[in-house]
Amino acid sequence: MALFVGLMCGLTPACVQPEIASPAKRSINEETKGSVRQERGRRADEAKPWEELRLPPAITPEFYNLTVQPDLTGSDTFQGWASILINVSEPIEYPRIHIKNINVTLSKIIDDTGSELVEVNPAFYYEYNEFYVMDVGTLQPGMYTWEIEYTGGLAGKIAGFYKSSYTVPGETEPRYLATTDFEPTDARQAFPCFDEPNIKTFFKIKLRHESKYIGLSNMIEEDRIDIGDGMVETVFGDPEVKMSTYLVCFIVCDFGSVEGKTKSNVTFRVFAPEHKIEEAYYALKVGINITEYFEEYFGLPYSLKKLDMIAIPDFSAGAMENWGLITYREQYLLIDNVTSSASYKQLVCVVVSHELAHQWFGNIVTMDWWDDLWLNEGFASYVEYLGADQAEPTWQMQEQFVVNDLYSVFRLDQIVSSHPIIIDVNRPEEISEVFDSISYSKGASVIRMLNDFMGEESFKEGLQRYLKKYEFGNAKSADLWEQLQSAYDDIVKGNLDIADIMDTWTKQMGFPVVNVEKDMNDLVLNQDWFLVDPNANRSAAPFESPYDYKWEIPFSSKFQMQLDDPPNYQWMERTDTDVVVTGDNSDWYIANYEEKGYYRVNYDIANWEALSLQLNTDHTMIPITDRSGLLDDAFNLAQAEQLDYVKVLDMTVYMDKEMEYIPWDAAYSNFMWLSDILRYQPAFADWRVYLQSKTKTLLNKYNDWSAEVSHLENFLRTDIIYLSCSSGDPDCLNEALTQFYKFLNNETVSANVLSPVLRFGMELDGGQDNWDALWERYVNSDTSAEKSRISFGLARTRHVWLLSRYIEYAMDESKIRRGDFFSVLSYISGNPVGNPLIWDYIRANWEYLVDRFGLSRSLGSLTYTTTQYYSTELKLQQMEEFFEKYPEAGAGPDHASRHWNA
Ligand SMILES: *[C@@H]1O[C@H](CO)[C@@H](O)[C@H](O)[C@H]1NC(C)=O
Ligand SMILES: *[C@@H]1O[C@H](CO)[C@@H](O)[C@H](O)[C@H]1NC(C)=O
Ligand SMILES: *[C@@H]1O[C@H](CO)[C@@H](O)[C@H](O)[C@H]1NC(C)=O
Ligand SMILES: *[C@@H]1O[C@H](CO)[C@@H](O)[C@H](O)[C@H]1NC(C)=O
Ligand SMILES: *[C@@H]1O[C@H](CO)[C@@H](O)[C@H](O)[C@H]1NC(C)=O
Ligand SMILES: *[C@@H]1O[C@H](CO)[C@@H](O)[C@H](O)[C@H]1NC(C)=O
Ligand SMILES: *[C@@H]1O[C@H](CO)[C@@H](O)[C@H](O)[C@H]1NC(C)=O
Ligand SMILES: *[C@@H]1O[C@H](CO)[C@@H](O)[C@H](O)[C@H]1NC(C)=O
Ligand SMILES: [Zn+2]
């Protein structure tokens, strides 16, 4: 699936994007719930066949006819007719199929002579494995047709087949649509199916609906047949490919579309509500561009005749790569020229690129089972940068990787409670948990490292071999390593064992710090598991490492006197100590060149000092990503007590000369983190003055906040405004206030600076009148991007009672969409005035919250966001009490991640 929380954001609460919480899943099938029939003729202690989690391999679906009819106006239910051709390869009892929350009204199995098989016992539902089980005696090998009719509900859900709505300005009645969202295991809520990723089949789909709607599905519309009573049947083309169930999609809606064609003649369309269709052109343009690029990169044409992308008003993930019909959250697909900022534009480009990458990596070749999900997601999260870079060559996408993915996942992976990329998953709820930023961002980071040490040519060749070999099938991580190995052996003829190397990065959690000492002209290298908490209890880690926390490291370095040469590579094997790199007597050297490796580096003190000196004299001698890497490593090493803070701050002295976004963004997260830690300390005063002095040059350079600047300068300007206003710079705060009043007066304020303008405006002048005026704007805004900025601004008033009232508004679904509840609370918790309010609120209302939202990841991450900067004994005590009372309140594995399930 696709992603994403605020891509360009640092760690500030400003950057927490709204998140739609899955409503508590409603079972509409009370009748079948838990009714496990007593089985005769078996001993009670013998495992029943349906207690096996996995479907039996003896039954293979060969073809699927599916007709679905949603009722959007009256009952909010749907009806379905499924007819599945199954191939039984060996005698088997109790044929079973996945269903969930649907009522089966008829089920029969017909043999190849057309006779219906007689049921020996009534069919039953085994809820634990979500199986519908029939008993027709022993099925002998051969072909059968399994026919199932069923009904289901569309309302109150955001997974499976569900109803969504939107309003058109000027209309009072909402418009409705019915859409699907399946990954990982919700296809079974829409139709009975063999719901495992390695069971691929052909789907022939028909939708029945009122004639005012259109029907969309994976294949192109082939026919639209009038069936009377104002109803039509949309028939989709014959299936062109076999696909996994989680990639099936069907939608009934009244949207409009824009259309183009790729060079290879694929029809490319973007669907959106008619009144927003202008906003679809950007996605269409980059979508076509990136599809053409991936056809070349993967060496395989896109598989289907058409490719649609559609903006869904209520969507739980960021986007979903259904084959030929990709669904998106609105703000990740549509760009309004006026209210959209550079960051949303980039998000659209990147998310589109990610989903398009899945059309090959994921859809053509699918992971064999969910434990290799990272292969889909890590891979797409890496090549999304290549696609976006192609479409927008000036955005420095490849360099942005480090600030968007690498450093943020380092932060999660440098604590003992992280987890390996590859973990066992079995039950559906465990499957959902692996959609976290370790799968996405760490997966992407280790693949980027692999690409780097294999070299572009052999990496690409290996990928193409892999896609060819497993085309329309399934594969595991080991299969990818094997194909990459063969390409590497043929092209580079080196001596690397790719599987052996990659296992150390995927099968144990964490990553190393390489400690480098200069010995005369040489470098002496040693590795150690990097943990940011100096007191971390290493033996308390929840996973065991098969490699004793040692890695196979492609160590790269460059000496100052050889900057124009390619970097030196030196493998550090996991058993090696004191590895030597031959060097020269340069003043300084840098390692992990361009931050391609998934490790940190700690230098000898003399080198840190020489690097500081170089940054101060001419920082442009050191490449951009290495400047950002030095800063991020230094801050984290200091936190781990492996480097003195004085040395770290020395590294930042040059920042007043730094003009590039990427090093600034790396500094931004670390400066903000330090500010939050120092906020209640006497040293805060000096720290604020220091920050003001470092940001002054750029604040002056960008003194016109509505000026059109380049894409990356937009990001840089926003970072600078946040840093300098939050450190109290009077020029910055004055300008923020001026812009704030302009906004309240209905004058245009650039979308690129609106978040900081509203934040600092409300902090300085956020009394009731201004709060209410802003609230009015929130209610009337028609774009989700603008709404989310305003809701952030509202959370920044310093008047506690306004914040209390805002919490009440958030609980009222007629005021704030249920899906925006958590983002509003986390915005308030990011306000120092509001934080104690939220902390009290969570502690007082925990049971109510669990009751209303379930133990969702959104709830877990609210606790995390609220308490992440606590650093006093008192807070520690409060947290210990809280977690003792509610042990389940620990955040889900995805806390603080920027990625969405997608
Ligand atoms: C699917 O429908 C087609 C066309 O009506 C029919 O020829 C085919 O036998 C059906 N297959 C199954 C499994 O029902
Ligand atoms: C049924 O499955 C067997 C074994 O996998 C295969 O050899 C055979 O071709 C299949 N039959 C059909 C009609 O698909
Ligand atoms: C499914 O069956 C239950 C129990 O009979 C019933 O309450 C529910 O309305 C049914 N749902 C649909 C969509 O028919
Ligand atoms: C492209 O597809 C259209 C139909 O969509 C077809 O008429 C045309 O011949 C195709 N062109 C090429 C070059 O394949
Ligand atoms: C927005 O920009 C796109 C591309 O620059 C343009 O095609 C479209 O007409 C613009 N829409 C509006 C409403 O200005
Ligand atoms: C994609 O867009 C970029 C930038 O405009 C351009 O350089 C490139 O040629 C385009 N690629 C394709 C395949 O159209
Ligand atoms: C570290 O964790 C282990 C395993 O949980 C535990 O037995 C040990 O007491 C802990 N050590 C310290 C110093 O807390
Ligand atoms: C801004 O526009 C809204 C809606 O058009 C209006 O109600 C409000 O009075 C205007 N505010 C100002 C200060 O002009
Ligand atoms: Zn994805």
Torsion angle defined by CA atoms of residues 563, 448, 648 and 671, in that order, rounded to the nearest 10 degrees: 130
The per-residue pLDDT for 13 is 28
Q: Whose CA is nearest to atom 4 of ligand 6?
A: 391
Q: Domain 513-672 has what CATH class?
A: mainly beta
User: What is the number of alpha carbons within 13 Å of residue 790 lying toward its C-beta?
Assistant: 23
pLDDT tens figures, 861-895:
788 888 877 878 899 899 999 988 887 765 443 32
The per-residue pLDDT for 870 is 82
pLDDT tens figures, 170-184:
998 999 999 999 988
**How many whole angstroms from 280 Cα to the centroid of ligand 9?**
21
Question: What six digits make up the tokens of 221?
Answer: 């519309």
User: What sign does the CA torsion over 482, 488, 491, 496 have?
Assistant: negative
Tokens 């709505």 map to which residue?
A: 165
Cα 28 from Cα 39, distance rounded (Å): 25
End-to-end Cα spacing for the chain:
3
The per-residue pLDDT for 854 is 64
Which of 281, 340, 782 most suits a substitution to test ligand 5, by most atoms within 8 Å of the C-beta?
281
Which residues fall within 8 angstroms of residue 777, CB to CB, at 6 or more apart? 743, 790
**How many whole angstroms from 80 Cα to the centroid of ligand 3?**
14
The SS3 assignment for 17 reads coil
The per-residue pLDDT for 857 is 63
The per-residue pLDDT for 590 is 97
The per-residue pLDDT for 14 is 28
Does residue 20 register a pLDDT over 70? Answer: no
Pocket of ligand 8 (CB under 6 A): 745-746
Least confident of 624-638, 756-770, 808-822, 871-885: 808-822
Cα 479 from Cα 717, distance rounded (Å): 45
The per-residue pLDDT for 890 is 56
Taking the CA of residue 87 as reference, the ligand 2 atom at the shortest distance is 1
* Ligand nearest the Cα atom of residue 295: 6
Which residues fall within 8 angstroms of residue 244, CB to CB, at 6 or more apart? 196, 197, 198, 199, 200, 366
Backbone angles phi, psi at 44, to 5 degrees: -60, -30
Considering only CA atoms, give the Rg of the chain: 28
The SS3 assignment for 96 reads strand
DSSP for 546-580 reads TTTT---EEEEEEEGGGTTSPPEEEEE-TT--SEE
Are the C-beta atoms of 184 and 370 separated by less than 8 Å?
yes
Does residue 146 register a pLDDT over 90? Answer: yes
Taking the CA of residue 293 as reference, the ligand 6 atom at the shortest distance is 13
Cα 437 from Cα 892, distance rounded (Å): 11
CA–CA distance from 437 to each of 374, 440, 542 (Å)? 10, 5, 18
Are the C-beta atoms of 656 and 694 separated by less than 8 Å?
yes
| Residue bearing the bigger pLDDT, 806 or 337 | 806
Mean pLDDT of 56-65: 97
Pocket of ligand 1 (CB under 6 A): 63, 65, 83-85, 145, 204
Does residue 5 register a pLDDT over 80? Answer: no
Does residue 856 register a pLDDT over 90? Answer: no
Are the C-beta atoms of 113 and 145 separated by less than 8 Å?
no
Residue 708 annotated to the active site: no
Which of 28, 102, 163 most suits a substitution to test ligand 3, by most atoms within 8 Å of the C-beta?
28
- H/E run at residue 498: helix 498-506
The per-residue pLDDT for 26 is 26
Amino acid residing at 616: N
- H/E run at residue 334: none
Pocket of ligand 3 (CB under 6 A): 28-31, 77, 103, 151-153
The per-residue pLDDT for 348 is 95
CA–CA distance from 148 to each of 103, 109, 159, 178, 866 (Å)? 10, 9, 21, 21, 49
Taking the CA of residue 537 as reference, the ligand 7 atom at the shortest distance is 1
Closest among 120, 122, 92, 93 to 107, alpha carbons compared: 122
DSSP for 753-781 reads THHHHHHHHHHHH--HHHHHHHHHHHHH-
Closest among 345, 350, 347 to 383, alpha carbons compared: 350
Does residue 373 register a pLDDT over 70? Answer: yes
Fold held by 1-39+53-254: Immunoglobulin-like (2.60.40)
Least confident of 14-18, 459-463, 608-612, 671-675: 14-18
Q: For ligand 7, is residue 535 a contact (CB within 6 Å)?
A: no
Cα 840 from Cα 233, distance rounded (Å): 54
Cα 456 from Cα 872, distance rounded (Å): 49
CATH superfamily of 258-395+421-507: Neutral Protease Domain 2 (1.10.390.10)
- DSSP type of residue 383: H
Which residues fall within 8 angstroms of residue 492, CB to CB, at 6 or more apart? 454, 455, 458
Neighbour count for residue 169 (Cβ, 10 Å):
7
The per-residue pLDDT for 280 is 97
CA–CA distance from 28 to each of 228, 252, 624 (Å)? 30, 22, 56
The per-residue pLDDT for 40 is 42
Does residue 28 register a pLDDT over 70? Answer: no
The per-residue pLDDT for 43 is 53
Tokens 């983190």 map to which residue?
A: 673
- DSSP type of residue 243: B
Q: Whose CA is nearest to atom 14 of ligand 3?
A: 151
**How many whole angstroms from 869 Cα to the centroid of ligand 7?**
25
Q: Whose CA is nearest to atom 4 of ligand 3?
A: 31
* Ligand nearest the Cα atom of residue 238: 1
Fold equal for 258-395+421-507 and 513-672: no
Neighbour count for residue 534 (Cβ, 10 Å):
9
377 is in an annotated binding site: yes
Strands in 568-572's sheet, in edge-to-edge order, are 568-572, 553-559, 589-591
Cα 776 from Cα 369, distance rounded (Å): 49
- SS3 sequence of 825-883: HHHHHCCCCCHHHHHHHHHHHHHHHHHHHCCCHHHHHHHHHHHCCCCCHHHHHHHHHHH
Q: Give the active site residue among 19, 355, 595, 658.
A: 355
User: What is the number of alpha carbons within 13 Å of residue 7 lying toward its C-beta?
Assistant: 25
Cα 661 from Cα 391, distance rounded (Å): 20
What percentage of the chain has pLDDT greater than the value 70? 92
* Ligand nearest the Cα atom of residue 239: 1
pLDDT tens figures, 755-792:
999 999 999 999 999 999 999 999 988 887 888 899 99
98 is in an annotated binding site: no
Which of 742, 744, 745, 746 most suits a substitution to test ligand 8, by most atoms within 8 Å of the C-beta?
746
Task: Provide the pairing of β-strand 59-70 with 202-210.
Answer: parallel
Q: For ligand 6, is residue 289 a contact (CB within 6 Å)?
A: yes
**How many whole angstroms from 593 Cα to the centroid of ligand 7?**
37
Which residues fall within 8 angstroms of residue 689, CB to CB, at 6 or more apart? 727
The per-residue pLDDT for 504 is 98
Does residue 29 register a pLDDT over 80? Answer: no
The per-residue pLDDT for 809 is 96
In DSSP terms, 149 is beta-bridged to 81, 106
Q: For ligand 6, is residue 865 a contact (CB within 6 Å)?
A: no
**How many whole angstroms from 204 Cα to the centroid of ligand 1?**
9
Residue 25 — pLDDT band, cuts 50, 70, 90? Answer: very low
Q: For ligand 7, is residue 539 a contact (CB within 6 Å)?
A: yes
Does residue 899 register a pLDDT over 80? Answer: no
354 is in an annotated binding site: yes
Chain centroid, CA 323 distance in Å: 18
- DSSP type of residue 623: -
Cα 698 from Cα 346, distance rounded (Å): 23
Question: What six digits make up the tokens of 389?
Answer: 């870079």
Q: Whose CA is nearest to atom 1 of ligand 5?
A: 337
**How many whole angstroms from 314 Cα to the centroid of ligand 8?**
29
pLDDT, averaged across the chain: 90
**How many whole angstroms from 699 Cα to the centroid of ligand 5?**
30
Taking the CA of residue 143 as reference, the ligand 2 atom at the shortest distance is 13
Taking the CA of residue 30 as reference, the ligand 3 atom at the shortest distance is 4
* Ligand nearest the Cα atom of residue 541: 7
Which residues fall within 8 angstroms of residue 431, CB to CB, at 6 or more apart? 184, 185, 370, 373, 425
**How many whole angstroms from 756 Cα to the centroid of ligand 8?**
22
Q: Whose CA is nearest to atom 4 of ligand 7?
A: 540
What percentage of the chain has pLDDT greater than the value 90? 78
Backbone angles phi, psi at 658, to 5 degrees: -75, 125
Cα 387 from Cα 394, distance rounded (Å): 13
Cα 205 from Cα 216, distance rounded (Å): 10
Taking the CA of residue 153 as reference, the ligand 3 atom at the shortest distance is 13
CA angle 701, 706, 712 (to 5 degrees): 60
Task: Provide the pairing of β-strand 589-591 with 553-559.
Answer: antiparallel
Mean pLDDT of 248-263: 98
Instruction: Kindly report the pTM of this predicted structure.
Output: 0.90
**Residue ranges per structural domain of the chain:** 1-39+53-254, 258-395+421-507, 513-672
**How many whole angstroms from 246 Cα to the centroid of ligand 2?**
23
Does residue 902 register a pLDDT over 90? Answer: no
The per-residue pLDDT for 835 is 95
CA–CA distance from 87 to each of 67, 84, 138, 247, 593 (Å)? 21, 10, 14, 22, 54
Q: For ligand 6, is residue 393 a contact (CB within 6 Å)?
A: yes
* Ligand nearest the Cα atom of residue 289: 6
The per-residue pLDDT for 21 is 26
Cα 330 from Cα 744, distance rounded (Å): 26
Are the C-beta atoms of 627 and 619 separated by less than 8 Å?
yes
Cα 261 from Cα 270, distance rounded (Å): 12
Are the C-beta atoms of 541 and 562 separated by less than 8 Å?
no
pLDDT tens figures, 299-328:
999 999 999 999 998 777 789 999 999 999
The per-residue pLDDT for 3 is 39
Which of 26, 31, 104 most suits a substitution to test ligand 3, by most atoms within 8 Å of the C-beta?
31
Q: For ligand 6, is residue 293 a contact (CB within 6 Å)?
A: yes
Q: Whose CA is nearest to atom 12 of ligand 5?
A: 337
**How many whole angstroms from 65 Cα to the centroid of ligand 1?**
6
Q: For ligand 5, is residue 202 a contact (CB within 6 Å)?
A: no
Q: For ligand 7, is residue 540 a contact (CB within 6 Å)?
A: yes
Tokens 């296992």 map to which residue?
A: 503
Q: For ligand 5, is residue 281 a contact (CB within 6 Å)?
A: yes
Are the C-beta atoms of 838 and 859 separated by less than 8 Å?
no
Backbone angles phi, psi at 33, to 5 degrees: -55, 125
Task: Give the orientation angle of helix 768-780 with respect to helix 784-794, to 10 degrees.
Answer: 160
pLDDT tens figures, 464-485:
999 999 999 999 999 999 999 9
**How many whole angstroms from 235 Cα to the centroid of ligand 4?**
21
* Ligand nearest the Cα atom of residue 390: 6
Q: Whose CA is nearest to atom 5 of ligand 7?
A: 540
Question: What six digits make up the tokens of 830?
Answer: 């990011």
The per-residue pLDDT for 157 is 78
Taking the CA of residue 335 as reference, the ligand 5 atom at the shortest distance is 1
The per-residue pLDDT for 427 is 74
Mean pLDDT of 677-706: 94
pLDDT tens figures, 165-224:
998 989 989 999 999 999 889 999 999 999 999 999 999 999 999 999 999 999 999 999
Question: What six digits make up the tokens of 822?
Answer: 């958590």
CA angle 533, 536, 542 (to 5 degrees): 120
Pocket of ligand 2 (CB under 6 A): 60, 62, 87, 89, 143
Which residues fall within 8 angstroms of residue 81, CB to CB, at 6 or more apart? 65, 66, 67, 68, 147, 148, 149
Question: What six digits make up the tokens of 897?
Answer: 């991640």
The per-residue pLDDT for 1 is 53
Amino acid residing at 292: E
- DSSP type of residue 631: H
